[in-house]
């Protein structure tokens, strides 16, 4: 694992903790280009009452606004949980060449677990995928959230 991947996944985990504090599923995301964070996001579906307010979508929107364009070529997206099909589609459409995630999603992951949208030969853009970066921390954050939810 590259040192930069570890560092930037740490920032994605911070975003996930912000979601947790708001009662949201604790998924966080950052987008990095040339060593600088250009986009951030964490789940806000409950807060915004918006089904598409996923961490990745919000980070992509933030990055596009910051750079003034929708093509995020040369960027890496770091997310604490494997992207869902919607988010994987947004990643492909934004032309993000590299995704690093922490923990797989066995119920809907679209970066190789259930689907493989990011590396599909049927899309006009392929994404390099790295998984398992800081997996233990991300898994613990998710488990803690759902244990707390069940106790309520």
Residues involved in catalysis: 56
**Tokens describing residue 98:** 């590299």
Phi-psi region of 82 (alpha: psi -120 to 50; beta: other; left: phi over 0): beta
Residue environment code for 11-26, b if the CB has 16+ CB neighbours within 10 A, otherwise e = bbbebbebbbeeebbb
List the beta bridge partners of residue 130: 100
114 is in an annotated binding site: no
42 is in an annotated binding site: no
* Residue at token pair 């998984």: 131
Rounded Cα distance, 93 and 124, in Å: 9
Q: Do residues 82 and 61 touch, judged by C-beta distance below 8 A?
A: no
Rounded Cα distance, 152 and 129, in Å: 36
Q: List the binding residues for Zn(2+).
A: 54, 84, 87
Q: Mark the binding-site residues, compressed into ranges.
A: 54, 84, 87
């Amino acid at each position: 694992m590259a040192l930069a991947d570890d560092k930037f996944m740490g920032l994605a985990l911070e975003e996930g903790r912000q979601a947790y504090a708001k009662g949201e599923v604790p998924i966080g995301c950052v987008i990095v280009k040339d060593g600088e964070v250009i986009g951030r996001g964490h789940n806000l579906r409950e807060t915004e009452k918006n089904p598409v307010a996923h961490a990745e979508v919000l980070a992509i929107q933030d990055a596009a606004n910051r750079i003034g364009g929708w093509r995020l070529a040369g960027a890496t997206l770091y997310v604490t949980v494997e992207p869902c099909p919607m988010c994987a589609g947004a990643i492909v459409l934004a032309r993000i060449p590299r995704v690093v995630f922490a923990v797989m999603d066995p119920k809907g992951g679209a970066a190789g677990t259930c689907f493989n949208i990011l590396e599909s030969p049927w899309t006009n853009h392929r994404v390099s995928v790295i998984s398992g970066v800081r997996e233990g921390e991300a898994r613990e954050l998710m488990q803690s959230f759902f244990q707390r939810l069940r106790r309520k």
